Amino acid sequence: MKVFAISDLHLSFSTDKPMDIFGESWDNYFDKISCDWMEKVGENDIVLIAGDISWAMGLNDAAIDIGHVNALSGKKVIIKGNHDYWWSSYSKVKSILPPEMYAVQNNCVKIGNVIIAGTRGWNKTSKEDDLKIYNRELGRMKLSLDSVEKIREEGDKVIVMTHYPPFNVDLSNNEMTDVISSYDVDAVVYGHLHGKDCRAERKVFKGKTCYYLTSCDLVGNQLVDILED
33-84 pLDDT, tens digit per residue, is: 999 999 999 999 999 999 999 999 999 999 999 999 999 999 999 999 999 9
Give the residue from 173, 162, 184 showing the smallest Cα distance to 5: 162
Alpha helices in the chain (DSSP H): 29-40, 59-70, 90-96, 128-151, 175-181
The mean pLDDT value for 129-158 works out to: 96
DSSP state of 219: T
pLDDT single digits (tens) 178-229: 999 999 999 999 999 887 666 678 899 998 999 999 999 999 999 999 976 4
The yes-or-no verdict on residue 21 having pLDDT over 60 is: no
3 state SS of 70: helix
Please answer whether residues 106 and 140 qualify as being in contact, where contact means their C-beta atoms are separated by less than 8 angstroms. yes
Give yes or no for a contact between 61 and 84, defined as CB atoms under 8 angstroms apart: no
Alpha carbon separation from 56 to 5, 63, 80, 87, 216 (Å, rounded):
21, 9, 13, 9, 18
Q: pTM of the full predicted structure? A: 0.94
123 contacts 95 by C-beta, under 8 angstroms: no
From the list 89, 78, 20, the residue with the least C-alpha distance to 54 is 78
Evaluate if residue 13 carries a pLDDT over 90.
Answer: no
- The rounded distance, in Å, linking the Cα atoms of 156 and 167 is 25
Kindly provide the residue ranges of all beta strands, DSSP E only, lying in 35-92, ordered along the sequence: 46-49, 75-78
* Helix H or strand E encompassing 102: strand 101-103
Q: Judge whether 104 and 111 are in contact, CB under 8 Å.
A: no
